[in-house]
A = this chain, B = another copy of it.
Amino acid sequence: MSRVYNFSAGPAVLPEEVLKEAADEMLDYRGCGMSVMEMSHRSKVYDDIIKTAEADLRSLLSIPDDYEVMFLQGGASQQFAMIPMNLMKNKVADYIVTGQWAKKAYQEAQIYGKANKIASSEDKTFSYIPDCSDLPISPDADYVYICENNTIYGTKFKTLPNTKGKTLVSDVSSCFLSEPMDVTKYGLVYGGVQKNIGPAGVVIVIMKKELITEDVIPGTPTMLKYKTHTDAHSLYNTPPAYGIYICGKVF
């Protein structure tokens, strides 16, 4: 067997030892007589899996106690809506557009309020990161949004933007866990796991607790409120249990 070392922009290679363990445990997870795909997400066995995954991620990224960790569904594309639905209290947000994903997030936010494009590198096909040291941050902006790594264009924020005190929201899908990061610089960091951490179908959201409230845009579905998920420790409904299990092995 010849393994392909695929590290493309989308789903990419996983550690061979993770896949080997997953194969070995497929019919019987550690003597419990069933696959992780088959077990109740309310069982003691699964509770250990999801809690260990969260604890290991917290340890890897030194996530402080005043941040919640959520394992959600719908990919980054669903976060493009969830973020404004939950955070646009003043209905204003500033977007730095450095690639197609930031642009999609910016466009989606316009459904929910005034999304301002305060910087962009679209003039040169997203080939650079604009100077973000002194941007015209809106005085009433609820947050400043970036996509931190742009695989398609080969760019990455080397220093985070100066948000002038506003909450920083960052999509780290394509650089998640590739280097240390200081979570405390962000209000919300999120990423689809399929590039660096696990199988598609899981998105991890790390969010400052004080930002998680019931005060969301009217019409926000229950499943799209962060509070629904933090109140239930990512078990409000059946989670993407197998994907979380694989992520846990990668951590």
Contact = CB atoms under 8 A, between A and B. Distances in A.
Interface of A: 1-4, 6, 8, 10-14, 16, 19-20, 22-24, 26-28, 32-35, 37-42, 73-78, 80-82, 85, 108, 111-112, 192, 194, 198-202, 217, 219, 221-224, 236-243, 246
Given A19-B27, A22-B26, A75 B201 contact: no
Contacts of A240: 73, 199-201, 240, 243
Contacts of A10: 40-42, 238
B41 A221 contact: no
B241 A201 contact: yes
B33 A3 contact: yes
27 contacts: A3-B33, A4-B34, A6-B34, A6-B39, A10-B238, A11-B39, A11-B41, A13-B34, A20-B27, A22-B26, A23-B24, A37-B246, A73-B75, A74-B74, A75-B223, A75-B237, A76-B237, A77-B223, A77-B236, A78-B221, A108-B221, A199-B240, A199-B241, A199-B242, A200-B240, A201-B239, A243-B243
Contacts of A221: 78, 80-82, 85, 108, 111, 224
B194 A238 contact: yes
Contacts of A194: 238
Given A12-B38, A73-B73, A194-B238, 5 more contacts: A19-B35, A37-B246, A73-B75, A85-B221, A112-B219
Contacts of A223: 74-75, 77-78, 80-81
Contact of A201 (B11, B77, B242): B242
